[in-house]
Chain A
Amino acid sequence: MTQSSMTNEIAAAAPTILDGIDPDLATHLGSKREIFRNVATKLGVLATTPVILAAASSEAFAQGLPRQVTDILNFALTLEYLEDEFYRTALSSNFIPERYYEVFNTISRHESEHVSTLKGALGGAAVAKPRFDFTARGKYPDIFRNFRTFALVSQTLEETGVAAYKGQAPKLTGGGQLLTTALRIHSVEARHAAEVRRIRGARPWTGAFDKPMSKAQVLAAASPFIAG
C-alpha cells in the first residue's frame, strides 16, 4: 500500500475511530482533514491510527513527534527522574546491606540510562527534573536509613513504573521504534520489580497477567514524592 492511499484510508476511517476516543475531537475533525493528511505524511513510521489522531489533535511537535507522544515520553521521563535520584541517593547513603548492593547498583544504573534514553528521544521537548521528597511528606522519615523502608518504597516505585509503561504502550500502537523502546524499558522495570519483591521476601508476581495503571493512577501514586 502506498503512503498516500494508506493515509487516505486512515483519514476516511477517522471519524468512526474518534467516536470512541474523544467526542469533542470527532466534532472538530471534519475541518481538520487537511492537517490530518499532512501530519500523516510527515510521520512516516509513526503513521498509524492512534498516533496520527494524537497529532491531529494537538498540531504541536517537538523533534517531529506529535504532542501526545511527547506527553507520554515526558510522563515516563518524570518517573525515571524519580527512580534515578531515589537509587543514587540511597547508594550514597551507606545503609544498603552489602549482599543487596549489586542488585540496587544495577537497578540504579538502568534508571540513569532510562533518563538518558528518554531525554535523547525528546531533545528540546524534555521536561526538567522536578524536586523530589522521598520521605513522601514525612510518611517515610527513615527512607535512606532503614533498608526495610527503602525496599518497600523501591517496590512501590518499580511496580508503578511497570504499570505506567503498560498503561501508555497501547497509545503508541504502530509507533515503530518508539514503541519498541518503551516496551524494552517496561520489561526491565518488571525485572527490577520481581527482584526487589524477592529481596523483600514477597512473591515476585501477583498473577498471570499484570495490570496497567492509567496516567491519573500513576500520578496519584507518584505525587507524594514530587515536591515541585
Chain B
Amino acid sequence: MEQITTQSLNSSGDHSSRRSVLKWAAMAAASAAVFGVDVPGLRLTEAFAQGGAVDLGGGDVGVLNYAYALEQLEAAFYTQVVATPYQGMSGYERSVLHDIRDHEVAHRAFFAKALGRRRIPNLKPNFSAINFASRQSVLSTASTFEDLGVAAYNGGGAAIRNPAYLAAAGSIVSVEARHAAILRDLIDPLSSSFAGDVDFSGLDVAKPPSQVLAAAAPFVATPISATQLP
C-alpha cells in the first residue's frame, strides 16, 4: 500500500485527465484489493451491526464510504430530476442538470469500484420533502446538496491517510464546487451568491462528518452511523 501511495504522489498531474482518473481509479481499486484480504463479506456484515444502521467504517475506508454515501444521494437525486423535469426547465438548465447527473453517477461508480467489497450497501433515498415539479424546490435542494458535498470533502480531507485518495477526492470536490456555483447562479444570477458562504479569510465551508450526515439524514431512509470517523 505504501508503494501505491508514493507512486501516485510522484506521478499525479503528469498525464491527461482521462488517464489520470483511470490511474487513480485503478490505484484505488488496487488499494481496496489490498484492504480486502480479510474474510470476504466480513465488512458488509459489520456494516449492519449497528442496530440496522449502515456503519461507514473507519480509516480511509470509512472516509471513502462517507463520500460514497453522499455521491449515492446526489446521483439518485439528479437521476430523478432528469427523469421528471420541473415545469419550465430552460434548455440551459436542462443541460446543466444533465451534466451534473452524469458527474454524480460517475463519482458514485468511482467510489463503488475503489471500495470494492468494503463498500457500504446501496442506500435508500427519501425525497418525500422535495417537489420535483417545482423549479424552486429542485434548485434549492440541488444547491444545498452541492454546498454540503463541498463542505464534506473540505472537512473530510484531513482524515485521509493515503495521498492517492486525497488526490481523487480533490479531483471530485472542485467539480462539486463548480456545480454549487452554477446552481446558486441559476437561483440568483450574477450576484455574489455563486461563491457560497466564504468566510472573511476567503475560505469555503468545511464540515465534519457528524454535521454533514445530520444535514443529509432527512433525505436518506437508510440510517447511517459514522462511529469510527472523526
Q: Which of B13, B164, B178 contacts A204 (CB 8 A)?
A: B178
Measured CB to CB, the closest approach of chain A to B24, in angstroms, equals 8
Residue among A105, A163, A179, A211 with most chain B CB within 10 A: A211
> In the complex, are the beta carbons of B106 and A174 less than 8 A apart?
no
Q: Which residues of B contact A13 (CB under 8 A)?
A: 2
- Cβ–Cβ contact A20 & B10, under 8 A: yes
Give per-residue flags for A170-205: 1 if the beta carbon is below 8 A from chain B beta carbons, else 0.
Answer: 110111110111011111111111110011000111
Q: Which of A64-116 contact B (CB under 8 A)?
A: 99-100, 102-103, 105-107, 109-114, 116
Distance (whole angstroms) from the CB of A176 to the closest CB of chain B: 6
Are B203 and A217 within 8 A (Cβ)? no
Q: Which residue of B lies closest to A14 (CB)?
A: B2
The answer to whether A175 and B158 have CB atoms under 8 Å apart is yes
Select from chain B the residue with minimum beta-carbon distance to A114.
B202
CA gap between A185 and B161 in the complex, in Å: 20
Task: Using CB atoms, name the residue of chain B closest to A170.
Answer: B163
Count of chain A residues near B, Cβ 8 A: 69
Pairwise interchain contact B12-A191, C-beta atoms closer than 8 A: no
Q: Does A38 contact B (CB under 8 A)?
A: no
Which residues of chain A come closer than 8 Å to B125, judged between CB atoms?
none
Assuming the contacts A167-B12, A170-B164, A208-B106, asked whether A113 and B174 have C-beta atoms less than 8 A apart, the reply is: no
Could you say which residues of chain B place their CB within 8 Å of the CB of A183?
153-154, 157, 170, 173, 206
Q: What is the CA–CA distance of A121 and B160 in the complex, to the nearest angstrom?
A: 22
User: Quick check: A187 and B150 within 8 Å, CB to CB?
Assistant: yes
A177 to chain B, nearest CB (A): 8
Tell whether A58 is near chain B: CB-to-CB under 8 Å.
Answer: no
Contact B200–A113 (Cβ < 8 Å) = yes
- The smallest C-beta distance from A215 to any residue of chain B, in angstroms, reads 9
Q: Is A210 an interface residue (CB 8 A)?
A: yes
Question: A211–B17 contact, CB under 8 A?
Answer: yes
- Cα distance, A80 to B174, chains bound together (Å): 18
**Interface assignment of B196: CB less than 8 Å from any CB of chain A:** yes
Q: Mark B83-106, 1 if CB is under 8 A from A, else 0.
A: 000000000000010010011001
Q: Choose one: B2, B21, B167, B182; the contact of A198 (CB below 8 Å).
A: B182
B49 on the A face (CB < 8 A): no
The reply to whether B190 and A207 contact each other, CB–CB distance below 8 Å, is no
State A2–B194 Cα separation when bound (angstroms). Answer: 44
Tell me if B190 and A113 are in contact (CB < 8 A).
no
B220 interface hit (Cβ, 8 Å): no
Q: Which of B103, B171, B185, B203 contacts A117 (CB 8 A)?
A: B203
Q: How far is the CA of A111 from the CA of B180 in the complex (A)?
A: 19
A173 to B103 alpha-carbon distance, docked (Å): 25
The answer to whether A103 touches B192, judged by C-beta atoms less than 8 angstroms apart, is: yes
Is A186 a contact partner of B170 (Cβ separation < 8 A)?
Answer: yes
Q: Given A21-B10, A99-B190, A113-B200, verify A106-B195 contact (CB < 8 Å).
A: yes
- Given the interface contacts A179-B158, A195-B194, does A166 sit within 8 Å of B174 by beta carbon? yes
The minimal Cβ–Cβ distance linking A11 to chain B, given in whole angstroms, is: 13
| Interface residues, chain B, with chain A CB atoms under 8 Å away | 2-3, 5-10, 12-14, 16-17, 20-21, 96, 99, 102-103, 106-107, 110, 150, 153-155, 157-158, 160-164, 166-167, 170-182, 185, 190-192, 194-196, 198, 200-206
